[in-house]
Amino acid sequence: MAEPFDIPDSTDWLNTPLLLLAPLENSLRCQICKDFFDNPVLTSCSHTFCSLCIRRCLSNEGRCPTCRLQDQELKLRRNWIVQELVEQFQNAREPMLSLARKEAARLTNGGDDIQQPAPKKRRVGFLDQDEEAEAADPGSQRMRTRSRGVKVEVAMQEEEPEVIEDSQDDDEDFVPEDGLFSCPLGCGRRMKEAVMFTHLDVCTGQKAPSPAKPATFGSLQPQRHATQNFIDPPERLPAINYSLLKDGQLKKKFRELGIPDWGSRALLQRRHTEWMNLWNANCDSRNPKPKRELLNELKIWEKTQGGAQTPFASAADEITRKDFDREKWSSSHDDDFKRLIANARKKSDAQIRSTIPGALAASEDNVPAPAGPIEIPMGNGDPVVIDSDGP
């Protein structure tokens, strides 16, 4: 049995003789959460992810995390064969890993000496008396061979097992002496005589189905899933346009769904998106969780990523949304960018003055003066000549 804090990983096989199972296990894990596939679904670009993982990605970016192609939640399809592969591998993983680790430990310690059965030895230099007689008298060899064949045939007849026929009719007709009586209508139940008439009033004559035995490791019988019970799956939640709903209408929708309706409008939108992902991912499961478990998962999300989220994290989520307008964001924050650039330049100049005194004055003195006279045009048309070399 695995330790309480032992997280299974595909690298567990690397130090064992079954190291080729590492890539096999890695292929049965989701590339988003790195765990075994949970309710795997297939995208339109033929990639498989956990239902909840890919729904969260599509609600934020609208692209496949592997190939970066655009996709939608409506195009997701359940991948039943991958779910069965994951379940069978998880059932066989612990026994196989235990045997592989024992074999690795045995090989590390030098291995046990395997005792091979000793071959039968025969003396070559001596002949049996019968063989000597056969070699001396060729005519008697045929008779001895015939007699040996008769002895072998008799021995084979004696070794044939005796088959005892077992009649199942006797077992079916066997009635235990426990003081109970069988139902005459054929339902197979046994009861006391005092309650027989009460049972006959409600008996339908059909035998009760026998409980299914749990499948054990190594059994060739396929496991029966809960989907064989004819239970209607939960109905999926559709996406809504938040811009068309006011705050009161949105909170009323939350009360109908049975989820909390407190918080800002941005928090309400994030909460509904997360609840929609949890609910629709639960619809892809063979064994859907009850609503109270989904509410508990939503509560955990509120404490970790929802209501406890900082304003910086909220702004980061807004930037990564698929409908984010980058040009509008740049134009609206253009003044902030210019102010930050100006502050950075002032800080850089101040740092230069503090570290190198007189650096700015020296740089101004090193600027060469213009050579030759300079003509400045005046309003009357006569230019004024200034000689820089003069006094």
Lowest model confidence (mean pLDDT) among 43-47, 59-63, 209-213, 262-266: 209-213
The confidence band for 9, taking pLDDT boundaries of 50, 70 and 90, is: confident
User: Does residue 283 carry a pLDDT above 90?
Assistant: yes
Token representation of residue 101: 């680790």
Token representation of residue 323: 């409908």
Phi/psi at 77 (5° precision): -130, 140
How much is the pLDDT for 99?
92
How much is the pLDDT for 30?
94
Phi/psi at 57 (5° precision): -65, -45
Q: For CA atoms 322, 324, 330, 331, give the dihedral sign.
A: positive
Which 3-state string (H, E, C) describes 108-172?
A: HCCCCCCCCCCCCCCCCCCCCHHHHHHHHCCHHHHHHHHHHHHHHHHHHHHHCCCCCCCCHHHHH
How much is the pLDDT for 181?
78
How much is the pLDDT for 126?
46
Distance, in Å, from the CA atom of 119 to the CA atom of 316, rounded to the nearest integer, reads 77
How much is the pLDDT for 301?
92
Residue among 63, 7, 62, 53 at smallest CA distance from 30: 53
Lowest model confidence (mean pLDDT) among 69-73, 213-217, 259-263, 372-376: 213-217
Note whether 96 and 104 are within 8 A (CB).
Answer: no
How much is the pLDDT for 45?
94
Q: What integer is the mean pLDDT of 320-345?
A: 78
Each residue's pLDDT tens digit, 63-113: 999 999 999 999 999 999 999 999 999 999 999 999 999 998 988 887 554
* Helix boundaries (H) for the chain: 21-27, 51-60, 80-108, 129-136, 139-159, 168-172, 196-202, 247-257, 265-283, 291-304, 311-319, 326-332, 334-355, 359-365
More confident residue, 36 or 214: 36
Lowest model confidence (mean pLDDT) among 6-10, 208-212, 237-241: 208-212
Q: Which residues contact 66 (CB under 8 A, 6 or more apart)?
A: 31, 45, 47
Distance, in Å, from the CA atom of 116 to the CA atom of 133, rounded to the nearest integer, reads 37
Q: What integer is the mean pLDDT of 139-151?
A: 49
The confidence band for 326, taking pLDDT boundaries of 50, 70 and 90, is: confident
Question: Residue 74 to residues 55, 57, 78, 183: CA-CA distances in angstroms?
Answer: 10, 14, 12, 54
How much is the pLDDT for 307?
61
Each residue's pLDDT tens digit, 222-266: 555 444 444 566 789 998 889 898 989 999 999 999 999 888 899
pTM over 0.85: no
User: Does residue 292 carry a pLDDT above 90?
Assistant: yes
Domains of the chain in sequence order? 10-107 (3.30.40.10), 181-207 (no CATH), 242-322 (no CATH)
User: Does residue 327 carry a pLDDT above 50?
Assistant: yes
Q: Which residues contact 191 (CB under 8 A, 6 or more apart)?
A: 180, 181, 183, 199
User: Does residue 387 carry a pLDDT above 50?
Assistant: yes
Lowest model confidence (mean pLDDT) among 146-155, 266-275, 319-328: 146-155
Token representation of residue 46: 């033929």
Number of alpha carbons in the 13 Å side-chain half-sphere of residue 186: 2
Each residue's pLDDT tens digit, 160-200: 555 555 555 554 555 666 677 788 777 777 877 777 777 77
Lowest model confidence (mean pLDDT) among 32-46, 126-140, 193-207, 302-316: 126-140
The confidence band for 29, taking pLDDT boundaries of 50, 70 and 90, is: very high
Note whether 347 and 355 are within 8 A (CB).
Answer: no
| Alpha carbon 73 to chain centroid, angstroms | 19
How much is the pLDDT for 228?
46
Q: What integer is the mean pLDDT of 118-131?
A: 50
